[in-house]
């Protein structure tokens, strides 16, 4: 489990960016195939904290669909646990903890994850945090529970970025993965599209129309400084970071029709990568940096292809359906997510690259902009119901679904940030 004294850029952002009042509401449907029963107790004395840590932990674990969360009430004596009693109540594991206010204004957060079968401690945390870190401490505890009981890194302490639109007001927002702690990164009267996180989580690339044409920017989320990365003749679009964080792939129409280019993060070193007579767009790097996936109509209709970053022959990847766009590749390189048009509906699909087996994950009809969680277990995407656009999250097996909505405005163009560095 990562220590709380490591830099968490999102909390630095909170001190330097304007905050937003509206928060997201999450609706959850479906559960995992093999839920792990976990009892979560209210942390002793947690009323002194600005955040009720145990409730955030419960909400995180419930959202994942991987756990059956059992309310354990409040346990004040965390050193005297009735293991057999909790096992009899169906809990395989028990989360307990305490919060104490310190004289210097910080909060001492202590947590234990206990195995009710072996009657032993699995994991623990003891850390003093400032008020602004209490929510993060809860997310990190939930991450630890997820990892200890599934063997997979949790993604509750990660962040998301998305665009919120109210009329002609466009806002690039950054929030915790649960939609809380929402912060404003950029406001514009012109469209903002295609946000993309840098691998270290300190910057976001995006396309802004503030110059009355699409231009690619990189914005430092700590200093708010912006760099123009691509402002060539014609359209500049679809930025995607290379794994090292020093380069991006972009789609430019500077030579007459849209093709894939690579460019350094400071805007230098522009180099053409794809070379076709069609339209090549929506590049996405593989996690190992050895491939770029992209959308092209070179076969007559939009399909997804893969090439090496230096160009060369591109190989077609998608063959199901006549219209496949918006490729996103999982961190392990095994699964491709994309939007496919079938029977007039635009829906989220995933493709197992080894077997060629594809699966439809959404039951909505107007989906766009998929983005993998950094642990590869969930996909966030934008969808539309009626006139409202909202965000949705689905597990890669399609069993667990979430809908994230706000009271005002449409939210779209989601991108899931990386693990904390």
CA distance 69 to 146: 12
Which region, left, alpha or beta, applies to residue 398 given φ > 0 means left and ψ of -120 to 50 means alpha? left
Query: What's the CA gap between 320 and 312, in Å, rounded?
Result: 24
- Region of poorest pLDDT, from 138-147, 195-204, 404-413: 404-413
- Show the tokens assigned to 407: 């009271």
- pLDDT (0 to 100) of residue 63: 93
Given this model, what pLDDT does residue 112 score? 97
Q: What is residue 38's predicted lDDT score, i.e. its pLDDT?
A: 98
Computed on alpha carbons and rounded to an integer, the radius of gyration of the chain in Å comes to 22
pLDDT of residue 23: 62
Per-residue pLDDT reduced to its tens digit, 349-375: 999 999 999 999 999 999 999 999 999
- Identify whether the C-beta of residue 160 lies closer than 8 Å to the C-beta of residue 177: yes
* Strand arrangement of the beta sheet that strand 345-352 belongs to: 324-329, 335-342, 345-352, 358-360
**What whole-number distance in Å separates Cα of residue 293 and Cα of residue 378?**
20
The answer to whether 147 touches 112, Cβ cutoff 8 Å, is no
Q: How many CA atoms lie within 13 A of 205 on its CB side?
A: 29
Type and span of the H or E element at 60: helix 53-64
pLDDT single digits (tens) 304-325: 999 999 988 899 999 999 999 9
For the domain made up of 24-150, give the CATH fold.
Answer: Rossmann fold (3.40.50)
Of 355, 354, 402, residue with least CA distance to 377: 402
pTM above 0.85, yes or no: yes
Going from N- to C-terminal start, the domains of the chain cover 24-150, 159-417
Contact 273, 286 (CB under 8 A): no
Burial class (CB in 10 A: 0-12, 13-18, 19+), 73: exposed
Banded model confidence at residue 18, pLDDT cuts 50, 70, 90:
very low
What pLDDT, on the 0 to 100 scale, is given for residue 19?
A: 46
pLDDT for residue 386 is more than 80? no
Instruction: Give one word for 79, left, alpha or beta, with left for phi > 0 and alpha for psi -120 to 50.
Output: alpha
pLDDT band at 7 (very low <50, low <70, confident <90, very high): very low
Q: Tell me what percent of the residues of the chain surpass a pLDDT of 90.
A: 85
pLDDT at 33 over 60: yes
* Mean pLDDT along residues 29-39: 81
Task: Please report which confidence band the pLDDT of residue 70 belongs to, taking 50, 70 and 90 as the band edges.
Answer: very high
Q: Where are the beta strands (DSSP E) in 291-334?
A: 292-296, 303-308, 311-316, 324-329
The pLDDT, as a whole number, for residue 24 is: 65
Q: What 3-state DSSP class applies to 140?
A: helix
pLDDT beyond 80 at 5: no
Interval 158-208: pLDDT, tens: 999 999 998 899 999 999 999 999 999 999 999 999 999 999 999 999 999
H/E stretch holding 143 reads: helix 134-150
Q: Which residues are registered as beta bridge partners of 304?
A: 295
pLDDT at 30 over 70: no
pLDDT in tens, 81-95: 999 999 999 999 999
Residue 420 binned pLDDT confidence (cut-offs 50, 70, 90): confident
State the pLDDT at residue 421. Answer: 65
CA distance to 17, 204, 274, 296, 335, per residue, from 357 (Å): 44, 33, 27, 21, 10
Predicted local distance difference test score (pLDDT) of residue 264: 97
Identify which has the larger pLDDT, 421 or 395. Answer: 395
CB atoms under 10 Å from CB of 259, counted, come to 24
- Taking residues 205-223, what's their average pLDDT? 96
Considering only residues 296 and 421, tell me which one the structure prediction assigns the higher pLDDT.
296
The answer on pLDDT for 60 being more than 90 is: yes
Interacting residues of 337 by C-beta distance below 8 A, sequence separation 6+? 327, 328, 329, 330, 348, 349, 350, 351, 361, 370, 372, 379
Percent of the chain with pLDDT over 70: 91
Question: How is domain 159-417 classified at the architecture level of CATH?
Answer: 6 Propeller (2.120)
Are the C-beta atoms of residues 180 and 135 closer than 8 Å to each other? yes
Please count the other Cβ atoms lying within 10 Å of the Cβ belonging to residue 386: 5
pLDDT at 1: 33
Q: Which helix (H) or strand (E) holds 61?
A: helix 53-64
Q: 102 versus 405: which is more confidently predicted?
A: 102
pLDDT number for residue 28: 65
Tokens of 299: 């076969």
């Amino acid at each position: 489990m990562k220590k709380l004294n490591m830099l968490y850029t999102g909390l630095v952002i909170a001190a330097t960016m304007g905050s937003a009042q509206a928060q997201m509401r999450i609706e959850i449907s479906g559960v995992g195939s093999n839920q792990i029963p976990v009892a979560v107790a209210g942390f002793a004395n947690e009323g002194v904290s600005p955040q009720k840590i145990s409730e955030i932990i419960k909400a995180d674990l419930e959202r994942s669909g991987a756990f059956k969360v059992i309310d354990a009430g409040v346990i004040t004596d965390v050193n005297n646990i009735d293991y057999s009693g909790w096992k009899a109540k169906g809990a395989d594991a028990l989360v307990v903890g305490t919060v104490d206010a310190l004289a210097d204004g910080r909060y001492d957060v202590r947590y234990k994850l206990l195995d009710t079968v072996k009657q032993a401690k699995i994991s623990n945390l003891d850390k003093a945090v400032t008020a602004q870190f209490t929510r993060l401490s809860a997310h990190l505890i939930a991450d630890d529970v997820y990892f200890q009981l599934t063997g997979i890194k949790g993604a509750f302490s990660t962040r998301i970025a998305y665009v919120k639109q109210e009329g002609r007001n466009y806002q690039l927002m950054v929030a915790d993965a649960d939609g809380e702690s929402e912060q404003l990164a950029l406001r514009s009267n012109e469209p903002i599209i295609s946000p993309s996180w840098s691998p270290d989580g300190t910057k976001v690339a995006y396309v802004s129309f503030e110059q009355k044409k699409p231009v690619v920017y990189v914005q430092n989320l700590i200093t708010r400084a912006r760099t123009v990365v691509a402002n060539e003749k014609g359209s500049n679009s679809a930025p995607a970071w290379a794994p090292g964080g020093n380069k991006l792939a972009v789609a430019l129409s500077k030579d007459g029709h849209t093709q894939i280019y690579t460019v350094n993060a400071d805007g230098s070193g522009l180099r053409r990568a794809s070379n076709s007579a069609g339209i090549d767009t929506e590049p996405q790097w593989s996690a190992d940096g050895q491939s770029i996936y992209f959308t092209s109509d070179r076969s007559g209709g939009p399909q997804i292809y893969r090439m090496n970053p230096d160009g060369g022959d591109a190989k077609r990847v998608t063959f199901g359906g006549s219209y496949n766009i918006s490729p996103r590749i999982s961190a392990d390189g095994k699964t491709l997510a994309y939007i496919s048009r079938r029977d007039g509906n635009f829906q989220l699909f995933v493709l197992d690259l080894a077997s060629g087996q594809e699966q439809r994950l959404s039951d909505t009809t107007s989906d766009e902009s998929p983005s993998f969680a950094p642990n590869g277990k969930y996909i966030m995407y934008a969808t539309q119901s009626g006139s409202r656009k909202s965000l949705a999250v689905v597990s890669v097996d399609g069993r667990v679904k979430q809908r994230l909505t706000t009271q005002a405005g449409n939210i779209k163009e989601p991108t899931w940030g990386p693990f904390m560095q």
